[in-house]
Amino acid sequence: MTRVVAVELRLVGLPLVRPFRTSFGEEREKECILVRVETDRAEGWGECVAGPRPDFSGEFNEAAWLALRDHLVPALLAAPDPRPEDVRSLGGVRGNRMAKAALEMALLDAELRAEGRSLAAFLGATKERVPCGVSVGIAGSLEELVEQVAGYLAEGYVRVKLKIEPGLDVERVRAVRGSFPDVPLSVDANAAYTLADAGVFEALDELGLLMIEQPLSHEDLVDHAELQRRLATPICLDESIRSAADARAAIALGACRIVNVKQGRVGGLLEAVRVHDVGRREGVPVWCGGMLETGIGRAANLALAALPGFTLPGDTSASGRYFAEDLTEPFVLGEGGTMAVPTGPGLGVEPRPERLAACTRRVERIPR
């Protein structure tokens, strides 16, 4: 029996070491909500993957804050013995998956800490270290892009993903491929194209890419299936997959051959495991995506990436790829471009108090 005593919401901001540009805009800093759950047995932390604007998804920090403060947290505090698996349908709230995922993570962390059990063990991890890729934003020039990729490869990353947008695609990817002929390479369009741009993807199809991530609208599985029929390169879906049911539908339609799993996008770690299970059952490889998380969310991603169906390197880069100083002890890239999966109770990490204080913009504690 777990009694939740209070939930604390905290908005934090951390400068990024280099701006991260995608087809929908540029981030110069990481801003996100941290959730801290206090129970009668332990405390637990969660990180919300929403950002300041509703661009990657319809969720954004101010909206997620209200969803948590006014709906999800009150429902959690009113529940006599809330379980992490209840968060999905808490208070009858629909959608708001990123907000729910953060609350679920905090509750899971608290529960597992009280039991002395690691998140990785709880989720069913089978690996102690996971191979790591890096996602490279749209650079100011082709030369800059090649230089950035060279730098990441020198650090040891085992797969490189290039962000693309209309007009900054084939030529750039071809140049990177030309400079690094053997590197496992992929692209991510963040839904910036339509089927009318099929020619771009047919040209990319010649470059031996591992996958093409989310080329078309997040709402269009049928067009993705049409595009996939025309390409040898596997399509990977990200934004389109909000649940295990979405993954089943996309695979059944032939809209993708690979799935990017992000716990926040699908409403939590428990649903992320179900997406993984769908992939395994259907013979579709999955990998762990990233949302520029701080060490809190990164710990959760690494635990997830250690499950057996995660057979491709994730966007689980080291702290130093994002921040000069992370909120937690830094995650570092080790031997063979792999990173250690945390083994301590719960997430296995917590924010360093002085760093947390320096990054905090707003805190609200909601008592029972």
Known catalytic membership, residue 100: no
- Choose among ligand SMG, Mg ion, none what residue 148 binds, the Cβ cut-off being 5 to 8 Å by kind: none
Closest-CA residue to 122 (of 293, 275, 272, 323): 272
Q: What is the nearest approach in angstroms of Mg ion to the Cβ of residue 239?
A: 7
CA distance 272 to 262: 7
- Say which entry of ligand SMG, Mg ion, none residue 22 contacts (CB below 5 to 8 A, set by partner kind): ligand SMG
Does the protein bind ligand SMG through residue 238 (CB under 6 A)?
Answer: yes
Tell which one of 22, 23, 148, 263 touches ligand SMG (CB under 6 A). Answer: 22
Of the pair 30, 355, the CB lying nearest ligand SMG is at 30
The reply on whether position 155 binds ligand SMG by CB under 6 A is no
Structure tokens at 112: 């597992």
Pick out residues in 165-224 that bind ligand SMG (CB under 6 A). Answer: 188, 190
Per CB under 6 A, contacts with ligand SMG among 292-321 are 292, 315, 317
Pairing type for strands 4-22 and 159-163 reads unpaired
Specify the stretch interacting with ligand SMG by CB under 6 A; choose among 38-46, 109-117, 286-294, 332-340. 286-294
In whole angstroms, how far apart are CA 35 and each of 108, 151, 184, 193? Answer: 12, 34, 36, 35
Q: Which two tokens stand for residue 240?
A: 């389109």
Question: In angstroms, how far is CA 126 from the centroid of its own chain?
Answer: 20
Considering CB distances under 5 to 8 angstroms, the limit depending on partner class, which of Mg ion, ligand SMG, none binds residue 82? none
* Near Mg ion in 206-265, by CB under 5 A: 213, 238
163 is catalytic: yes
Nearest to ligand SMG of 7, 204 (CB atom):
204
Stretch that binds ligand SMG, among 76-84, 220-228, 285-293, 323-331 (CB under 6 A): 285-293
Using the rule CB under 6 A, which residue among 46, 268, 289, 295 binds ligand SMG?
Answer: 289
Tokens of 238: 């990200």
Tokens 């049928």, located at residue: 222
Residues comprising the chain, all counted: 368
Strand extents, DSSP E, the chain: 4-22, 25-39, 43-47, 129-131, 133-136, 159-163, 185-188, 211-213, 235-237, 258-261, 286-288, 338-340, 360-367
Is residue 135 near ligand SMG by the rule CB under 6 A? yes
56 belongs to the binding site for ligand SMG (CB under 6 A):
yes
| β-pair partners for 25 | 22
Q: Binding Mg ion by CB under 5 A: which of 8, 47, 188, 271?
A: 188
Asked if 176 contacts 162 with a C-beta cutoff of 8 angstroms, the reply is yes
- Give the interface segment with ligand SMG, choosing from 100-108, 218-226, 240-248, 289-297 (CB under 6 A): 289-297
Secondary element (H or E) of residue 249: helix 244-253
Contact present, 32 and 47 (Cβ < 8 Å): yes
Return residues touching ligand SMG (CB under 6 A). 22, 27, 51, 56, 135, 188, 190, 238, 289-292, 315, 317
